Structures are given as structure tokens and as C-alpha cells.
Amino acid sequence: MGASRARRLSVLDASFLGMETRDTPMHVGALQIFSLPKNAAPGFVKSVVQRYRAPKAIGRPWNLKLAPVPLGRLLPAMHEADEIDFHYHVRHSALPGPGGERELGELISHLHSQPLDRTRPLWTCHVIEGLHDRQFAIYIKIHHALSDGVKGARMIAASLRDKPGTSLAPPWESQAPAARRGKPSAAPRAPASLRWLTTLPGAFRPLFLRTPDAPVVLRPFEAPNSALLNGRVTGARRIATQQLDLAQIRRIAKRAGASINDVFLAVCSAALRRHLLASDALPAASLTAGVPMSLRADGDDASGNAVGFIWASLATDIEDPRQRLAAIRASIGAWKQHLQSLDAAARLPFATLTFTPAVAVMVSGLGARLRPPMNVIISNVPGPEHPLYLGGARLDAMYPVSIPVQGLALNITGVSYAGKLNVGFTGSRDRLPHLQRLAVYAGEALAELDALL
């Protein structure tokens, strides 16, 4: 399969390859925790491994690998792999005793520190047994150039079933989507299809021309320096997890007139504030969060990324949790209001252009030396609302595992599933060696906010 069939990546997808170094592997991951079925045979987990290594078909993006094309480092392209070694891509592991959260966390931290092999399709899977309470885990990582968080959650959920059964199909077992039937829509006329170009200059106005009566739309590079969160990172990772109750979050959001994401940001803000105060490292000015915002339309199952960034104050300079939540709500609301005011076709280009300076700093390796574009990345990905099963094994939790980069030592991502918000904290091991404390603080911050409102 030659380079003639290769497809160039978008600028956004290519940027994730460009940012990758040994210290900044650019893959995202998912840690799934399952309970064994009742009366499960001793070889149940082995059966999962065997089935995962023998898919009936494989679809995009799992069959894509980097193509050898001219200027491939600057303008990378992907093509379909002729052969895939599933014994390489699907590994079988076992935890040492007692098989608790500590042992699992250490293993996932190690696995997530290892970069993907660029000569193969950019993903691997680890099926892990030996967990206590009759559980096993599946950890999958895939390069961010191939998938954003929303797409990744959809692919994993699509491979599971709503009820216990016998299907052990892996996420990569898929057929190319059938061509849509019906009369093709007429191509838009050029002036209409390019109308959004004329709106872009005005889209940047609120970022640079602020007026006293308008909400403040935060810009990149307005964040204060944080000794723990910003600076040089190494490739060693530390992973921590926390499971929050969605009903409790919704209750708080309703009382405060806020969104679920507002409350999640407030919980993360409180945890960060407490952690930095304990280290005598809280900046006087508020921390700023980069919040990925999915621009993927409903039903859009294309590989690649459709995500933009907005910048929100975490109000860590405010002591009162209720006032802090209100300030966060106002800050992120200003950005959302601005995005909604843009032509729909202009939103992704605007978000990409806004994020480009931050990407340039990170690609150049200067992120650890300059004022940070943000202090932390915090995202919230919607997931399935009902329980899912792999064969007869119930999915108990699905934790996202994400990406620290130079100048940004921490990423916090939540995925909703079956009444819970599963939160993954991914940090640079050298800068945040006690990351589990942050996860504990997040759980306590939610309880505190619930008691106050």
C-alpha cells in the first residue's frame, strides 16, 4: 500500500504528532474496570485476550499507520496497514498482590509513560487480571492524532453491550460505515460556503478589545506561573483516579444555576487550591484552565479531532467555594457565549487559530520557559448513561488517562458513565509525585460544596 493512497492529516491532528517527544508522549488512554460475571470460568480473562487478538474486521482509526511520504515530518499522512500484529498490540498482564488501587495505579502509570511505536498503528491494549474483588481491567491507549476524547469514548462504548451476553468484540472490530442513501445534497455556492471567513476578524475582537460592560473573555498566556503545574516535564507519568456522584453534581448545579461542567471545574479548582496551599505554592492571581470543547456534530464518527479550547478562570484567588463557583461560571460562560455568536462554520477554525500560539510554544519546547498559555487542562467528556457489559462482565468504571506536555504538568479529564463522573488525573511524576492527594481533595471538595449550597 503506497503513499499514493495516503491521506494528509489536518493541521490540528498533525500538531499532536509534532508535539511528541520522549518527554511528551502524545497518546490518550482509557482505563476500564470490569467485574467478572457470576460463575465465570477460570479462563474468562484469557478468553477476552484471545478474542481481542482475533477481530473479524478492523476499521479506522485502528488500522492506520504513518505513511512514508515526502515532507512527512512537516506534513504527516496516514494509510491503512497491510498487516497488524495483534499479539503485539494486545498484551496480557497480571497485577502483583494484593491487586488494589495502588498496584493498578503503578502499572498504568508505567504503561502510560511509554511512547507508541510509530512504525505500527498507533495504539496498544493491555488486559490486566489479578485485581481484588473479582475484577479485571483493560487499558487502551491511542495517539491523539487519531482520536479526540469524545470519539475515543464513543468507540469503546460502541464495542460493549447494554445487557450481559456473550459478545467479547473489541473496539477495533468494525466495518467501514455504509454509504448514506438518499439524494445527495447540493454543493453550497462558494460565497455562502466561505461566508464564515469574513466573520473571523471580528471573532477575535473580544479577546483584544475589552470594554467595561462586556464579560471578560480570557486570552491564552494570561495565566500566572505555577512552580508545580508549569515548567519542564519528563516522560514519567503519575496516574490517579476519583469517582464522583453525578446526581450530587446535578443537585449542586441546579441550586447554583450552573452547569455540570461548571461544578466539575469548581471541584477541580478547590482541589488544586488546597493542594497548592499545602505546598505553599498557590499563585496570588487565579489559575487559568484550558477547557477542551467538542465541536464534533452529533453522529460525526470520523477519526481525528474536532475540538477547540476555551480559557476559564478557576478563581483560585477566591476563598469562599460558592463565590468561586459563581466566578468560574461567569468566566466560562463568556467564552461559550462568544463561540455561540459565531457562524457555525467559523467555530472550529477560530478555536484552532486561537489555540495555535499555545501549540507553537509546546511544539517548540519553549512551554517550560515562557509564561504558560494556561495552568492546567480540564475536560469533561459525556459517556454512556446506562451500564455496559463485555460478555457477562459489567463495566464498573471507565477512567480517562490523558496528556501532560511541556509547561503543563497536569491534565484532569472526567467521563460520565452510569450515574458517575469518572475522573482521571494525569501528571508528570517528577512535578506531581503525590497526585493521589489531589484526587482525594476533589472528592472532599464536592462534599463541601454540596453542604454549602
Question: Which residues form the catalytic set?
Answer: 144
Nearest CA-CA partner of 331 in 291, 359, 371:
291
Q: Which one-letter DSSP state was computed for residue 366?
A: G
Instruction: Looking at 114-228, list the stretches that DSSP marks H as alpha helix, in order from N- to C-terminal side.
Output: 149-159, 190-193, 200-203, 205-208
Q: Return the exposure string of 43-55: e unless at least 16 CB atoms fall within 10 Å of the residue's CB, then b.
A: ebbeebbebbbeb
Instruction: Looking at 341-427, list the stretches that DSSP marks H as alpha helix, in order from N- to C-terminal side.
Output: 347-364
> How do beta strands 376-381 and 288-294 pair?
parallel
CA distances from 124 to 27, 60, 278, 329, 445 (A): 10, 14, 38, 38, 35
Q: Are 371 and 221 in contact (CB under 8 A)?
A: yes
End-to-end Cα separation, the chain, in angstroms: 60
Cβ neighbours for 173, distance < 8 A, ≥ 6 positions apart: 55, 56, 57, 58, 59, 159
Q: Which helix (H) or strand (E) holds 441?
A: helix 435-452
> How do beta strands 90-94 and 123-131 pair?
parallel
